[in-house]
Structure 1
């Protein structure tokens, strides 16, 4: 394999084998290798239509998904150069990269609050609608091995990021090198992708490598513990590409669950016992945890940052294989990795086949076909990156053992040289600090006060009450006298600024402290939470205070609350439900939710089993012997527009006006049986679960139990808790179940249709389902809202033609849908 196009040409031969699975948090979408190949050719046609020529740069700024992959391959097929940008980058950085590369086109996401407006832009979320309308490109670019495939911009410790040139030769070489060193991947493997595809560690390990072997890649909508554990439970995952911080988050999630079950002490004893046992014995000993990762889970691959021996031991002692690797963007990216046969804590393993390493002045130097040719339009930086004899200078300090295995000591630019001339590695001091009670996370930097640097600790506290002075004193007991911490600062934001691989941006922390932080006082030149609230609510930053009520003072609507939760989950990688942010919540309360990272234990009332074959059979029987005879004793049903139902392909939203309690059975009996018994109905959650007491509460609970079983109802809240409802509706749609909803939210009292709730637009947008409008007449005459007993009458149900939405925003969807119902 000489180029990535050689890899791309293998896709048609894999046919319907699954290449990508998108788990959006609401829906699950599958893309085969054949589909990926076809869509990439159509993507190339779209790029040609947009004026993109071979050699042009195309910025790719979006979250991980199959559409990111389709866009990437389409760029290469066109002969253009991909410029992936971390989705979490702000607008200023993304637009800076657009200018630096003179990009012809920007592919960005609607999930960014601020988007690039200059030049030609397209939304990645529009590709599902744009590509099917275009013919596949008849031409596939045939690059030379040394042609540029992509430009990756480094995070940059100054304001000037450097564009790393990666050629087809670099990338193809590293794919082959990795698969030679770890030859375990087969087409049965599924990779859980947790890191941004803009980062070369994920791109090589979790994109190119699985596709090279015909394996499957699973993408998540948000990198939060619950989404990861759900994917592990529902998908057959073999490999997780991870970084230490994510492995720590999973560790914390497991420990929290053990603590809730009062099993933490037992777990600790078992871990100590497991240290001297075989891998198979450890797997059996920790079977309850192993089971959470699936029957075929094989390996964690860790990179992007040093893996602490303690974190390695946590997973290793439970019978998990952890392969730590090392590399840089400039080396495409992998240089070393532990092997399946041997894993050494603290070591990043031997070099890959074809990679040469040497140590010069304690710095690791590398050479091989995977090493980049230089920085884009930056000859000065390129010259500085290579030694006189052509070795790449990594900037990392390390040691190569007698067995050829590499150990990384730290970054050269982060090394602290004290006034006494002692070299202090910040990572080693941080490892001590992070074990001290009261520390949520620590960052160690060198501050020059004149006469050499001091070892300065920046502390993110866990609010347990331990004082910073006590923390520093405890840490210094575990440090050599020459490596003592001599100063500290308390960081007041919920999190440290992080890179795409969740490493602390030490240069940003250092800058913030230099700009006015006092020892023992708050820091933070930028409050990311306040900025996020400002973007979502439209409130000026200056008007947002810690005691501001997010609803009353900032104007956070119930729908905007969902948007805020999505951004918080993306930004802080935590589990949060929109019901945790209510009318009485203040900015300080939101900050506390982020800091504590406590998952809300909330009982929901969603029952997917009501769609099982036996439950459908029960409804068929009960309708025939009871519901339909009872319905016909009061109502004569007239049905129009049934021919429109023949156009339905797959699950849809049925939406209807709402006159009374006879609406739902009228629609159901108007539907043909094959649709009737594969349709669930959204019902007002607060009707069943409001603040009711006594017999009223018992009656409403009985109606819920009866309704879920015999009418296939599910609760849809109008005040809070939408997140869980959306996920349940997504699960219904994935199973081919239609959804009936009454978007007015309540019965009309006048016969005139009320405004539709905005939530309908968000549901349609997120679930991606067509909408079938329905007009009901006469049900309010049969059972008026204020009546306690029905009377005889005629009810008519008219079905409209299905509506398909593409680029419309939620408010526009709501208006079009309402007009369609009204015009029936």
Structure 2
């Protein structure tokens, strides 16, 4: 197989009438077969070729997750061009940087709002010939062209045949928790290798239904796009985060991938609802959760389950867990978690509920997928063994190094950064980790994000942050601080969707500004921190905390588009609060 478009063509020939995609419509959901997908990609590719897309060209995609994103991506690749992905949440200046740095000459934008963003920086985009708008109107000057009017003629198969496996397929700019975003160059072969590695695991089949809401601008979403073509699995697409739970109940998918924040949100919503109910329901939920976790931990140790515990667990399942599974359609075989560390407490809760989360790991620089837990050998706290064909070793300083066909070609226009990242033929991930006796990888923290206290002790902040969030359902984000300080402290933000019903039921202030300093709210946070601190060495415990009035968001620059905390930005925005922890 030489390219992603060739992979699509093979899929169309193999299962032309099988469902490929499902998308929301006024009447509910509308399906598209692989044959219909191939026809639409062919038509769009010939039209884009007429607008200048072709070998060596770059076409930027600025849209949320939807069917047209995938069709446009496949069409661009079919012309021999490469796709440059841009998050729809990016500012006008950020979008202009990606477009100009990548050398994109066409932009496919979602709607008139995104077009207006581009128009505001048009002077910075002298090489952009046209903007193709998915849902929008044409411009009198001819710069903006509706997607519905893009069509052309030519030899589609000849275009596809001319694509080499070593040709550039995708430029994805790292969202950058620190520093300037870098364009990661990924070839057709990178993606084909990553997809075939997942297929080799035998986890997916044509009877599955994949629900995709993740940003396709992110490497994780892009990998899922290619995997589903390779495996012939239908995908239902809807990028609206507020519709995830509703969509799962209607679609009844068999698996879904998500960032840990989504699983945290589900857990916290369930836990908070039970707290609000109180009484017998809360006691049953607390008992069921404890019983389920006890069973899960025994399984993890390879220990047998006592008969009485098994009876209790089956009752807990009937009273609590079965209802949770039904909320997600009742057909979930597993979830996949990536993009950030998953709290072990969250993993245990979902597994107890029969909704096992397979945590995986990869970087944009490794085509997103390098490690994945397997359903029959899940080890919580690890990201599983390498995918077939991926190699790994741990450097002397603990850094995780990755090798294999999924490793990027390099950073666009940055030869020195490329040489540093690919030193000695290994991708230097920047993550600290270790391998267990079964070859499963445990990521302990980011090499550059480890906290070193003034006493010389190292603390892994993301591990603490995940545990604190799991211990208090009312929290949205936790930021642990303490680098070069004499103890650790934390900033926490409230998930108002979850905490407001509790606050109203308890006659507490229902707005974040008033609630954050209320003694009851602070007591809830302190209880969670005390619970986590109890298992930690003294130097790693969180001594003080502050509840912030505003959550961390992508828009404020405190989160990356994949919902990871930008640590330096948070420290800059809240420097006075952090300094105040140590003023005495």
Q: Same fold by TM (over 0.5)?
A: yes
Contact kept in structure 2, 1:438 and 1:471, CA below 8 Å: no
* Offset of residue 511 of structure 1: 2.4
Matches within 5 A, 1:188-587: 188-205=207-224, 207-224=225-242, 227-258=243-274, 263-274=281-292, 275-276=294-295, 281=314, 286-360=321-395, 361-387=397-423, 389-434=424-469, 435=471, 439-448=475-484, 455-461=488-494, 463=515, 465-466=518-519, 471=526, 474=530, 476=533, 479-485=536-542, 488-496=545-553, 497-514=558-575, 519=579
> Aligned-pair distance for 1:115?
1.9
Q: Deviations over 1:704-750 (max 9, x none)?
A: xxxxxxxxxxxxxxxxxxxxxxxxxxxxxxxxxxxxxxxxxxxxxxx
CA spacing shift, 1:429–1:331, aligned 2, 3 Å: same
Report deviation, 1:440.
Answer: 4.5
The answer to whether the 8 A contact 2:177-2:565 is kept is no
Within 5 A, what are the aligned runs for 1:779-818? none
Q: CA deviation at 1:222?
A: 1.2
Q: Secondary structure at the match of 2:117?
A: coil
2-side partners of 1:95 and 1:26: how far apart?
Answer: 37
Which runs of 5 or more structure 2 residues have no equivalent in the other structure? 123-127, 137-145, 296-304, 500-514
Change (3 A) 1:411 1:54: same
Q: Deviations over 1:151-190 (max 9, x none)?
A: 1100123441101010111111111111213x12111211
1:764-802: CA deviations, max 9, x gaps? xxxxxxxxxxxxxxxxxxxxxxxxxxxxxxxxxxxxxxx
What is the match of residue 12 of structure 1? 12
CA contact (8 A) 2:4 2:192 kept: yes
Measured at CA, do residues 246 and 167 of structure 1 come closer, stay the same or move farther in structure 2, by a change above 3 Å?
A: same
Partner of residue 39, structure 2: 38
CA contact (8 A) 1:23 1:221 kept: no
Using the TM superposition, give the Cα deviation of residue 367 of structure 1 relative to its aligned residue in structure 2, in angstroms: 0.6
Are the aligned partners of 2:248 and 2:329 in contact in 1 as well (CA < 8 Å)?
yes
Quote the offset at 1:261 in angstroms. 5.8
| Superposed displacement of residue 453, structure 1 | 7.2
Q: Summarize the Cα distance change of 1:271–1:330 in structure 2 as closer, same or farther, 3 Å threshold.
A: same
Distance between the aligned counterparts of 2:93 and 2:317, measured in 1?
48
Partner of 2:118: 116
Gaps of at least 5 residues in structure 1 are: 522-824
- Of 148, 172, 187 in structure 1, the residue corresponding to residue 192 of structure 2 is 172
Q: Which residue in 1 is equivalent to 2:141? A: none
What displacement does 1:335 show?
Answer: 1.2
> What are the superposed Cα offsets for residues 87-141 of structure 1, whole Å, 9 maximum, x if unpaired?
222222111100101211111121646521223212122566224x545753433
Seen in structure 2, the aligned counterparts of structure 1 residues 100 and 476 have a Cα distance that, compared at 3 Å, is same
Deviations 1:175-215 (A, max 9, x none): 1111213x12111211111210111112213x111221211
SS in 2 for 1:23: strand
TM-score, reference length from structure 1: 0.58
- For residues 111 and 195 of structure 2, the distance between their equivalents in structure 1, rounded to whole angstroms, comes to 32
For the 8 Å contact 1:283–1:290, the answer to whether it is kept is no
String of CA shifts for 1:373-416, please: whole Å, max 9, x gaps: 211110011011022x2111000000111211110001011011
Greater Cα radius of gyration, structure 1 or 2: 1
Q: Give the structure-2-normalised TM-score.
A: 0.81
| Residue aligned with 1:341, SS | helix
Classify the secondary structure of the residue corresponding to 1:443.
Answer: strand
2:430–2:448: 8 Å Cα contact kept in structure 1? yes
| Equivalent residue runs for 1:641-680 within 5 Å | none
Q: Within 2, Cα distance between the matches of 1:74 and 1:493?
A: 41
Tell me, in whole angstroms, the C-alpha distance in 2 between the residues paired with 1:518 and 1:391: 38
1:199 to 1:440, Cα distance in 2 relative to 1, 3 A: closer
Map 1:696-735 to 2 at 5 A: none
1:269-297 CA-partner distances (Å, limit 9, x unpaired) = 12223343679957656322222222432
* More displaced stretch, 423-432 vs 479-488: 479-488
Cα distance per residue 1:440-480 (max 9 Å; x no partner): 431113454xxx67534222246362476983984655532
Which residue in the other structure is 2:172 paired with? 152
Provide the rounded CA distance (Å) in 1 between the counterparts of 2:534 and 2:358.
32
Asked if the contact 1:24/1:221 (under 8 Å) is kept, the reply is no
SS at match of 2:492: strand
Between the aligned partners of 1:112 and 1:265, the Cα distance in structure 2 is: 49
Contact 1:488 1:520 in 2 (8 A): no
8 Å contact 2:360–2:371 — kept in the other structure?
yes
Q: CA RMSD in A?
A: 2.8
Alignment partner of 1:143 is 2:143:
no
CA contact (8 A) 1:395 1:413 kept: yes
Closer, same or farther: CA 439–176 of 1 in aligned 2, 3 Å: closer
Inter-partner Cα distance in structure 1 for 2:534 and 2:352: 28
The 2-side partners of 1:322 and 1:87 are apart by 28
